[in-house]
């Protein structure tokens, strides 16, 4: 039986995510931001002073990916690192004035991206779509599902 990508939730979700990311990138590029940086900023706008580990957990990305993203953000003057009181090994990530100032224009760009993507859905469909996505994300975040299981082979 052939794999039907149009019947694959994973394929369609990945394709949709790439299109969302492209649309967002086009709108936030003039602000000097990339989608990965925007995701970090969303977390910090909601609560400044998170550790790198907390950002990794909240955004479901690899530690190395987060380290690289944060290094670029420090370089670009969006965030700064500060030592975590009582733990010499850890640092917290804080918004700079530039990072704070981007909240309104960046979230407006994200809203425009969402509105454009969901333009063909009525309000009830939008709410259902968002609810279903949140449920799938919650399911995929369950620890048992995050472990890689080898395929079952037949004898």
Tell me the pLDDT of the chain (155 aa) as tens digits: 788 999 899 999 999 999 999 999 999 999 999 999 999 999 999 999 999 999 999 999 999 999 999 999 999 999 999 998 888 788 999 999 999 999 999 999 999 999 999 999 999 999 999 999 999 999 999 876 555 555 555 54
- pTM score of the predicted model: 0.85
| Residue ranges making up the domain that contains 30 | 18-119
- Residue in the block written with tokens 């970090």: 40
How many domains does the chain divide into? 1
| Structure confidence at residue 147 (pLDDT) | 57
β 50-51/87-95 pair status: antiparallel
| 89: in domain | yes
| 151: in domain | no
| 1: in domain | no
In the numeric block, which tokens belong to residue 128?
A: 């259902």
| 82: in domain | yes
Kindly report the CATH number assigned to the domain that includes residue 58.
Answer: 1.10.10.10
Q: φ and ψ at 3, to 5 degrees?
A: -75, 125
């Amino acid at each position: 039986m052939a794999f039907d990508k149009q019947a694959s939730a994973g394929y369609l979700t990945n394709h949709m995510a790439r299109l969302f990311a492209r649309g967002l990138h086009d709108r936030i590029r003039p602000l000097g931001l990339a989608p990965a940086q925007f995701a970090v900023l969303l977390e910090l706008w909601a609560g400044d002073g998170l550790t790198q580990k907390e950002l990794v957990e909240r955004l479901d990305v690899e530690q190395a990916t987060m380290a690289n993203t944060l290094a670029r953000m420090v370089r670009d003057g969006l965030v700064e690192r500060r030592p975590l009181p009582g733990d010499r090994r850890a640092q917290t990530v804080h918004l700079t004035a530039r990072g704070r100032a981007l909240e309104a224009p960046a979230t407006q760009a994200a809203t425009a991206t969402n509105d454009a993507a969901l333009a063909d859905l009525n309000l009830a469909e939008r709410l259902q779509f968002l609810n279903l996505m949140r449920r799938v994300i919650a399911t995929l975040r369950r620890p048992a599902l995050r472990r890689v299981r080898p395929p079952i082979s037949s004898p």
